[in-house]
């Protein structure tokens, strides 16, 4: 078996990755590459050698496809609490957080006058809101209180997309300036129209090349070694400059170089994510390496 050329199965999901990306990757790797739809039942290609070591890679959770053999790396939606625990075990910086339970009482001296309240599971920025620390009460299961990180007059975050720990692209996202600016860290009192979420449809996106941010995101991928694609969100405290990982999005909906959402952001902001670092070339090299290591 050691002399057999390994199989690399790439699982495709319409609107989430352009199939042309996978086809270009397949021309750049040494393995035999098979592109299958996530809703397909099996590999329908007579070239597939069932005796050869195989690696299946799916950025997002596989729907119906059943890998015929070998190792499987696919997206998985871990709760934010588990993400934070995994990151903290590696010594990586995450904001202070706690699950909101019926008997929770937050210390103002420890948390400050305001905290973020967010769902443990969920991907909608509208579900994140600011609340006075002394008024945080249990209302429903599955909510977290998180330390508020002040990123400037308008919320700013960085997104770094990594494939098995290698950066494919990185952006900086700042909330649109139609929102009321937050002039200082705790300037929420009696001020309407303030947002604490940066990644909205009308936000301002730009390519980011911050080496510290990129390095932190690449380190964060080690917390999810079997999830192939992460979209790690990082914020920088405007006063201290400290960086914090706020989410890794291990579900894998982050192939922004050609997803429908990624293309819309590119068009609205005049960007080219694939060209930033050479995403396709990097992806091919990474998948070549991982196939050699993981295929079984």
Question: pLDDT truncated to tens, each residue of the chain (296 aa)?
Answer: 457 999 999 999 999 999 999 999 999 999 999 999 999 988 989 899 999 999 999 999 999 999 999 999 999 999 999 999 999 999 999 999 999 999 999 999 999 999 999 999 976 555 898 999 999 999 889 999 999 999 999 999 999 999 999 999 999 999 999 989 999 999 987 566 677 887 777 899 999 999 999 999 999 999 999 999 999 999 999 999 999 999 999 999 999 999 999 999 999 999 999 999 999 999 999 999 999 999 99
Question: pLDDT at position 196, please?
Answer: 82
- Is the domain defined by 80-95+149-251 classed in CATH 3.30.390.30? no
Rounded Cα distance, 288 and 280, in Å: 12
Residue 57 and residue 229 in contact, taking contact as beta carbons nearer than 8 Å: no
Q: Is 207 helix (H, G, I), strand (E, B) or coil?
A: strand
The strand order across the sheet containing 71-74 reads: 32-37, 7-12, 54-58, 71-74
Closest among 222, 227, 262, 242 to 93, alpha carbons compared: 242
First to last CA, the chain: 10
Each residue's pLDDT tens digit, 188-219: 875 666 778 877 778 999 999 999 999 999 99
Give CA–CA dist 139/196, Å, rounded.
Answer: 21
pTM above 0.85, yes or no: yes
Give the per-residue pLDDT at 2: 56
Over residues 134-169, the pLDDT tens digits come to 999 998 899 999 999 999 999 999 999 999 999 999
- Give pLDDT, residue 3: 77
DSSP string, 183-234: -STTTTTT--S-------TT-EEEE---HHHHHHHHHHGGGSTT--EEEEEE
């Amino acid at each position: 078996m050691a002399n057999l050329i390994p199989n690399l199965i790439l699982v495709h999901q319409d609107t989430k990755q352009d199939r042309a990306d996978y086809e270009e990757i397949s021309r750049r790797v040494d393995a035999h590459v098979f592109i299958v739809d996530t809703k397909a039942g099996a590999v329908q290609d007579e070239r597939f050698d069932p005796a050869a070591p195989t690696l299946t890679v799916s950025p997002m959770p596989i729907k119906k496809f059943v890998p015929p053999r070998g190792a499987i790396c696919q997206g998985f939606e871990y709760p934010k609490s588990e993400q934070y625990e995994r990151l903290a075990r590696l010594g990586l910086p995450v904001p202070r957080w706690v699950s909101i339970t019926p008997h929770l009482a937050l210390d103002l001296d420890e948390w400050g006058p305001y905290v973020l309240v967010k769902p443990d599971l969920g991907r909608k920025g509208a579900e994140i809101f600011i609340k006075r620390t002394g008024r945080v009460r249990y209302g429903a299961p599955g909510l977290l209180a998180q330390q508020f990180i002040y990123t400037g007059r308008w919320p700013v975050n960085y997104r770094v997309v990594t494939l098995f720990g290698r950066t494919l692209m990185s952006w900086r996202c700042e909330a649109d300036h139609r929102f009321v600016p937050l002039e200082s860290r705790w300037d929420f009192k009696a001020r309407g129209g303030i947002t604490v979420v940066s990644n909205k449809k009308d936000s301002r996106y730009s390519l980011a090349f911050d080496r510290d941010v990129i390095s932190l995101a690449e380190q964060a991928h080690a917390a999810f070694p079997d999830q192939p694609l992460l979209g790690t969100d990082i914020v920088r405290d405007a006063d201290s400059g400290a960086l914090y990982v706020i989410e890794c999005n291990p579900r894998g909906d982050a192939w922004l170089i050609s997803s429908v959402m990624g293309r819309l952001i590119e068009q609205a902001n005049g960007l080219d994510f694939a060209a930033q670092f050479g995403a396709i070339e990097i992806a091919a090299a990474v998948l070549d390496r991982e196939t050699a290591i993981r295929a079984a």
